[in-house]
Structure 1
Amino acid sequence: MAKTGKRTAAARAAFEGKNNLSVAEAVALIKANAKTKFDETLDIALSLGVDPRHADQMVRGVCALPNGTGKTVRVAVFARNEKADEATAAGADIVGAEDLMEAIQAGKIDFDRCIATPDMMGIVGRLGKILGPRNLMPNPRVGTVTMDVKAAVEAAKAGEVQFKAEKGGVVHAGIGKMSFDEAKLAENIKAFVSAVNKAKPAGAKGTYMKKIALSSTMGPGVALDVASAVGE
């Protein structure tokens, strides 16, 4: 049996018996026990009452976090001519067309967000099996297929987070760094929960938001009081 370190044991003890906490209580508990040598990410996981295998129960959207993610986001843009220039001027890290497609097909995927102008979707469509499983496929529903590449690049760089219900109806995301103060983390949590709540699909039956859990990268998880988290 693997030996549990002192820090891990102490964190588990601090979290023991703690459930259905308010956002403020959960953030305070997690911050107090995030003691690694690197700046951990605050992760959120929402268990939803949906089956994403059905089109009318898919949950997908985007959330502009009020305080950003604390992470440097690398953005790739499929565009030509003046739109390519616009993307570069807005701060895109990679801009291209067929050359970018070939790089991705060769396994070079060194970006966190992919944006495309509508006329480029014929090329981007060939990458569905590569980008889709990584949640990187441009999609007009989340604003990543657009002619306004400047706004899309700037939003991605500012800390906009995309979300999508995965198998089992779980949505998860990194929504800040543990170096953020408690108020900023709480604001990000509330904004993300609100965005997922507003994305409730027409086909959802029964309880939509079943469970919300928070954790730091290396720490234990703690469950929020769903009603208060949604209502805050």
Structure 2
Amino acid sequence: MPKLTKRMKSATAKRPTQTQSVADAVKTLKSFDAPKFDQSVEIALRLGVDHTQADQIVRGSIVLPHGIGKEQRVIVFARGPAATAATEAGADEVGDEDLAKKILGGWTDFDVCIASPDMMKIVGPLGRVLGPRGLMPSPRAGTVTPDVANTVAEYKAGKVEFRNDKGGNVQAIVGKLSFDNTQLVENIQAFIDKVLGLKPSAVKGIYVKSAHLTATQSPSVRLAV
């Protein structure tokens, strides 16, 4: 097990043992000694869902009120007017067969992949590359859509996707530590409210079992949800 740095030891010693409100958790994160870069802030919720049951999958997306402090690289599979609209909306790369060949060749230097429905014959075979990386477009996630331009704009504005993993965990970046406290609190609360609103009807027990907030190089803080 790697040794903790002096800064991490100091932060761990300051970390409260009890759960905190979102506002207090943000204050706690900001009280830790920080590295020389602007850390991302991430939330993780452990849900009481059974990932093997299709009716208990928690998946969605949200445009956070203040973005995430990072401009996401967005590519789009589209042709004709849709391709033009995607480019005008700020897509980093737009294409069809040539773009697919580039990805099959090993290129995955992007954060979001969007496709118009008529492009799925081209995009489908990319599943073995994009799927394991969480980049495969899907109608359920809203990344297979005829309105590619609006979807590009949303992701450029800070839209984040989430889906529970096999352990029932849902996590997402909710901003940068340099955001002011109010911005972080509003982003975090918006994400929590979104996940709470997606509680599957099949879940009868405790839905949110635990919640933690952390920065890139800090210990996590337990949230009261």
> Normalised by the size of structure 1, how large is the TM-score?
0.93
Gaps of at least 5 residues in structure 2 are none
Query: Residues 50 and 205 of structure 1 are in contact (CA less than 8 Å); yes or no, is this contact kept in structure 2?
Result: no
1:183 equivalent in structure 2:
182
Query: Residues 34 and 216 of structure 1 are in contact (CA less than 8 Å); yes or no, is this contact kept in structure 2?
Result: no
How far the C-alpha of 1:3 sits from its partner, in A, is 4.0
**In structure 1, C-alpha distance between the alignment counterparts of 2:40 and 2:56, rounded to whole Å:** 29
Structure 2 vs 1, CA of residues 172 and 161 (structure 1 numbering), >3 Å: closer, same or farther?
Answer: same
Q: Deviations over 1:136-177 (max 9, x none)?
A: 111222221111111100000000000011111101111100
Give me the identity figure in percent.
52
**In structure 1, C-alpha distance between the alignment counterparts of 2:194 and 2:9, rounded to whole Å:** 35
How far the C-alpha of 1:59 sits from its partner, in A, is 0.8
**Structure 1 ranges of 4+ moved more than 4 A:** none
2:150 equivalent in structure 1:
151
2:10 equivalent in structure 1:
10
Q: Which amino acid aligns with 1:202?
A: S
Query: Residues 7 and 33 of structure 2 are in contact (CA less than 8 Å); yes or no, is this contact kept in structure 1?
Result: no
Query: Residues 21 and 223 of structure 1 are in contact (CA less than 8 Å); yes or no, is this contact kept in structure 2?
Result: yes
Q: Deviations over 1:43-97 (max 9, x none)?
A: 1100001122221111110011000000110001000111111111110001111
Structure 2 vs 1, CA of residues 224 and 117 (structure 1 numbering), >3 Å: closer, same or farther?
Answer: same
2:215 equivalent in structure 1:
216
**In structure 2, C-alpha distance between the alignment counterparts of 1:141 and 1:34, rounded to whole Å:** 40
Q: Which amino acid aligns with 1:168?
A: G
Structure 2 vs 1, CA of residues 34 and 59 (structure 1 numbering), >3 Å: closer, same or farther?
Answer: farther
2:112 equivalent in structure 1:
113
Query: Residues 58 and 165 of structure 1 are in contact (CA less than 8 Å); yes or no, is this contact kept in structure 2?
Result: yes
**In structure 2, C-alpha distance between the alignment counterparts of 1:54 and 1:108, rounded to whole Å:** 33
**In structure 2, C-alpha distance between the alignment counterparts of 1:118 and 1:175, rounded to whole Å:** 29
What's the C-alpha RMSD, in Å, of the aligned pairs?
Answer: 1.3
Query: Residues 44 and 214 of structure 1 are in contact (CA less than 8 Å); yes or no, is this contact kept in structure 2?
Result: yes
Q: How does 1:164-179 map to 2 (within 5 A)?
A: 164-179=163-178
2:126 equivalent in structure 1:
127
**In structure 2, C-alpha distance between the alignment counterparts of 1:149 and 1:170, rounded to whole Å:** 29
Count, aligned residues = 225
1:230 equivalent in structure 2:
none
* DSSP 3-state at the match of 2:66: coil
Structure 2 vs 1, CA of residues 202 and 34 (structure 1 numbering), >3 Å: closer, same or farther?
Answer: farther
Q: How does 1:2-151 map to 2 (within 5 A)?
A: 2-15=2-15, 17-151=16-150
How far the C-alpha of 1:34 sits from its partner, in A, is 4.9
How far the C-alpha of 1:196 sits from its partner, in A, is 1.0
Query: Residues 87 and 153 of structure 1 are in contact (CA less than 8 Å); yes or no, is this contact kept in structure 2?
Result: yes
Query: Residues 60 and 162 of structure 2 are in contact (CA less than 8 Å); yes or no, is this contact kept in structure 1?
Result: yes
Structure 2 vs 1, CA of residues 150 and 2 (structure 1 numbering), >3 Å: closer, same or farther?
Answer: closer
Gaps of at least 5 residues in structure 1 are 227-232
Name the structure with the higher helix share. Answer: 1
